[in-house]
């Protein structure tokens, strides 16, 4: 029965028989056969099928809700039994946005592996929207994102802060210390991240609040590429101070704050509320939230858990 339920859930969450078959590594006809067996067992239609998508019937909605709970309990029981006999071990799928994943996560993972050598983390680095989608579809156990995402499936917990700054070439003139007026920024070429990233959301918010309307914008999908382009005098950017720490220390770029505007964004970790927790996940969250994270040279401790609606 658990195999049938797993096929049913995969079809529902992918809204397509072909995609479900690919994810399950079985044929599309086998998927259809499994759904037919379930419908015969409960003597009801579970899905509305069309050429474009698949939707749940009322009976299907009831089964889907309970099927998720049943399989979650199966998974939890198996993990707890393994932990009882083998200690805390096994895989842990972790996803992160680019800024945290490239500049802060390596140190946390090193400590985590040293203290818990039987746990095998697998790391995925993508923009925040894509990480959230993978957590939602249970491809990741936990995600670390750089923007707030509202989804009833996800538990979202803020745990650290991140200052945003305007980064400019090293020879950029500064008339007012480390501050710059918003009026002096509109004629510059702005280099920004792609839609879906936390840095892009912070940049768009800054444009909206300050009414800044740049004459030219270049969109790059890599913070490293943005930094190199700024170094070479092509333009300026609005990015995390964490991501330019090394360049600031070596003097290859400068970081400025906008006069009368300050932006401190949050880092969040997210989990799927329908996924059973494990000791490995609990230990990683504890490592993540209780370890002092150096932001702008100052330790920022993890916040208490809260769910954002």
pLDDT tens for each residue of 262-284:
888 899 999 999 887 788 899 99
Q: What domains are there in the chain, each with its CATH number?
A: 2-84 (1.10.10.10), 87-160+265-300 (3.40.190.10), 162-264 (3.40.190.10)
CA distance 62 to 87: 36
Q: What integer pLDDT is reported at residue 230 of this predicted model?
A: 96
pLDDT of residue 162: 86
Q: What percent of the chain has pLDDT over 70?
A: 89
Residue 100, pLDDT above cutoff 50: yes
Over residues 26-81, the pLDDT tens digits come to 998 999 999 999 999 999 999 988 777 788 999 988 998 888 778 777 776 776 67
Q: Are 153 and 274 in contact (CB under 8 A)?
A: yes
Predicted local confidence at residue 146, as pLDDT = 87
Residue 174's Cβ-count burial label (10 Å; 0-12, 13-18, 19+) is exposed
Cβ atoms of 72 and 275 within 8 Å: the answer is yes
pLDDT tens readout for residues 169-219:
999 987 667 889 999 999 999 999 999 888 899 999 999 999 999 989 999
* CA-CA-CA-CA torsion sign (18, 24, 27, 31): negative
Sign of the torsion angle spanned by Cα atoms 250, 253, 257, 263: negative
Evaluated on CA atoms 9, 11, 14, 20, the torsion sign reads positive
CA dihedral of 207, 182, 158, 123, whole degrees rounded to 10: 70
Mean pLDDT (whole number) for 142-163? 91
State yes or no: pLDDT of 294 exceeds 80: no
* pLDDT mean across residues, the chain: 86
- Min mean pLDDT across 7-21, 95-109, 123-137, 171-185 is at 171-185
pLDDT digits (tens, 9 = 90+) for 159-177: 998 899 999 999 998 766 7
Q: Is the pLDDT of residue 303 over 50?
A: no
Among residues 283, 289, 285, 286, the alpha carbon closest in space to that of 89 is found at: 283
Q: What is the mean pLDDT of residues 146-159?
A: 90
Q: What is the pLDDT of residue 65?
A: 84
**HEC per residue, the chain:** CHHHHHHHHHHHHHCCHHHHHHHHCCCHHHHHHHHHHHHHHHCCCCEEECCCCEEECHHHHHHHHHHHHHHHHHHHHHHHHHHHHHCCCEEEEEEECHHHHHHCHHHHHHHHHHHCCCEEEEEEECCHHHHHHHHHCCCCCEEEECCCCCCCCEEEEEEEEEEEEEEEECCCCCCECCEECHHHCCCCEEEECCCCCHHHHHHHHHHHHHCCCCCEEEECCCHHHHHHHHHCCCCEEEEECHHHHHHHHHCCEEEEEECCCCCEEEEEEEEECCCCCCHHHHHHHHHHHHCCEEECCEEECCCCCCCCC
Q: What's the CA gap between 68 and 30, in Å, rounded?
A: 21
Rounded mean pLDDT of 140-153? Answer: 91
Burial (Cβ within 10 Å: 0-12, 13-18, ≥19) of residue 145: buried
CA contacts within 13 A on the Cβ side of 293: 26
Which of the four pLDDT bands, split at 50, 70 and 90, describes residue 297? very low
Residues 6+ apart with CB under 8 A from 233: 169, 171
């Amino acid at each position: 029965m658990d195999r049938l339920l797993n096929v049913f859930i995969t079809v529902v969450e992918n809204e397509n028989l072909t995609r479900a078959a690919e994810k399950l590594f079985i044929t599309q006809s086998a998927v259809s056969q499994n759904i037919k067996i379930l419908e015969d067992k409960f003597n009801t239609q579970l899905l509305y099928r069309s050429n474009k998508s698949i939707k749940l019937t009322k009976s299907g909605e009831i089964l889907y809700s309970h099927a998720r709970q049943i399989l979650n309990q199966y998974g939890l029981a198996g993990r707890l039994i393994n932990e009882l006999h083998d200690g805390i071990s096994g895989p842990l799928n972790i996803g992160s946005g680019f800024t945290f994943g490239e500049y802060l996560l390596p140190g946390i993972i090193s400590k985590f592996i040293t203290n818990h050598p039987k746990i095998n983390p697998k790391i995925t680095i993508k923009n925040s929207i894509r990480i959230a989608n993978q957590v939602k579809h249970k491809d990741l156990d936990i995600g670390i994102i750089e923007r707030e995402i509202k989804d009833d499936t996800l538990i979202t917990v803020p745990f650290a802060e991140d200052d945003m700054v305007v980064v400019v070439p090293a020879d950029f003139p500064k008339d007012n210390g480390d501050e710059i007026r918003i009026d002096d920024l509109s004629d510059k070429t702005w280099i920004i991240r792609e839609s879906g990233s936390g840095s892009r959301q912070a940049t768009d918010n800054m444009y909206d609040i300050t009414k800044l309307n740049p004459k030219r914008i270049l969109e790059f999908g890599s913070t490293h590429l943005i930094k190199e382009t700024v170094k070479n005098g092509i333009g300026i950017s609005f990015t995390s101070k964490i991501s330019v720490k090394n360049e600031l220390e070596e003097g290859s770029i400068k970081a400025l704050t906008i006069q009368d505007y300050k932006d401190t964004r949050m880092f969040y970790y997210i989990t799927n509320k329908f996924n059973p927790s494990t000791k490995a996940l609990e230990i990683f969250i504890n490592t993540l939230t209780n370890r002092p994270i150096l932001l702008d040279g100052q330790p920022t401790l993890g916040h208490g858990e809260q769910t954002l609606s």
